Amino acid sequence: MSWPHKHLLDIEPLSKEEIFYLFELAHRFEEINTRPVKKVPTLKGKSIILYFSEPSTRTKTSFDIAGKRLSADVFSLATKGSSEEKGESLKDTVLTLEAMNPDLIVVRHRHSGAPHFIASKVRCPVINAGDGWHSHPTQALLDGYTLSKYWDDFTGKTLLILGDIAHSRVARSDVALFTKLGVKVRVCGPPTLLPRNIDSWPVEVYYSLEEACRGVDAIQCLRLQLERQEAGLLPSLREYSMRFGLTPSHLSLAAKGVRVLHPGPMNRGVEISSSLADSSVSLILDQVNAGVAIRMALLHTYLMGRVKTS
């Protein structure tokens, strides 16, 4: 069966049904990750290029492992050490890569719209692993998949996204995915870290963390980029962590069974208290595990199309 999307650049074009299909497929692949021989031959002979123009631990390794567990040949290219340092344009870099006939390119880039740009230049599918402030669809999918193991039903649940919303591709994609699944989404942060247009987002806006936590079922903590303080957007990190850092006491205001997430990497003690990150309510490491499974599902789907899931 065919998958109606050639590229995965943002969440918006995916239907609710397609998202649940990806969750199901990820669940099947997750089982492979627990076997002694963590490999299946499904993508044998396929060439996947990871073009990561921005530093990344988890996303890049996650895609790498996902591809290799499906027996694909995965090649990594970073800007550092590539001809882009010699001034080669992105267009030429990408056309050069495409001339080697990859079956799929995964892109992370610091400029919003770079994956769209690349997709317009190459013949193979492109998966966006995060572009600028704009979109991080695979992160949103793994966040949804992580919570799907604890939530029977998404409708009626409330999710709080906490932190630097304005500059966050994770926030934008999470809002898109979770509202599509019927979750009520809240955002909380200081006004300088909320986009000017936040009132037109399908979310409830809170400036007080205590108010925002009341009755929520899950909290996604966003990393505070330390440069924001230098840019005049915040008085100090101390002030930020005192007013917007998530601590165990905030959880007592939330719904029973509340879960805490973080896309990583974390600034322990700034946006999230260290003990909370390691506690039993934290799903941070589950997210990493879910990330590999979801990316296996995505690589499979974008290379092989849709399969029957029971």
Partner 1 sequence: MHREFLIEDVTYRGERCSVYIKDGKIEDIWYGHEQKRKEVPIIEGKGHIMLPGLIDCHVHLRDPGQEYKEDIGSGLSAALAGGFSRVLAMANTEPVNDNASVTSYMISKAGSLYPHGPYLSPVGALTVGLKGRELSPFYELRDAGCVALSNDGVPVGNNEIFRRALEYASAASLLVMDHCEDPSLSEGGLMNEGEVSDRLGLKGQPVVAESLQVARDILLAQYLEIPIHLCHISCEQSVELIYWAKKRGIRVTAETCPHYLLWDESLIEGYNTLAKVNPPLRTRADVVAVRQGVREGIIDVIATDHAPHADFEKDVPFALAPNGISGLDTALSLLWSLVKEGELEIDDLIRCMCDNPSSIFGLDKNGFKRGDRADVVLFDPHLTWRVSANSLYSRGKNTPCMGEDLQGRVRLHIIGGRLLYQHRLEQSQ
Distance CA 21, CA 1 (A): 13
Residue 30 C-beta: closest distance to partner 1, Å: 30
Nearer to partner 1, 135 or 138 (CB): 135
DSSP 257-273: T-EEE--S---BTTTB-
Nearer to partner 1, 75 or 117 (CB): 117
Which of 93, 104, 100 has the alpha carbon at shortest distance from 66?
A: 104
Distance CA 200, CA 286 (A): 32
Nearer to partner 1, 123 or 196 (CB): 196
Nearer to partner 1, 38 or 91 (CB): 91
DSSP 6-73: S-B--STTS-HHHHHHHHHHHHHHHHHTTSSS----TTTT-EEEEEESS--SHHHHHHHHHHHHTT-E
Rounded to the nearest angstrom, the gap between the alpha carbon of residue 105 and the centroid of all alpha carbons in its chain is 17
Nearer to partner 1, 172 or 186 (CB): 172
Residue 198 C-beta: closest distance to partner 1, Å: 8
Residue 113 C-beta: closest distance to partner 1, Å: 3
Residue 167 C-beta: closest distance to partner 1, Å: 9
Phi-psi region of 182 (alpha: psi -120 to 50; beta: other; left: phi over 0): left
Residue 141 C-beta: closest distance to partner 1, Å: 18
Sequence-ordered list of residues with C-beta below 8 angstroms from that of 154, at least 6 positions apart, any chain: 144, 147, 148, 178, 181, 182, 183
Residue 197 C-beta: closest distance to partner 1, Å: 4
Residue 180 C-beta: closest distance to partner 1, Å: 15
Nearer to partner 1, 29 or 133 (CB): 133
Nearer to partner 1, 90 or 298 (CB): 90
Would you tell me which residues interact with partner 1 (CB under 8 A)?
A: 89-91, 109, 111-114, 116-117, 131-135, 169, 172, 195-197, 200
Residue 309 tokens read as 């899931």
Token pair 């990561």: residue: 52
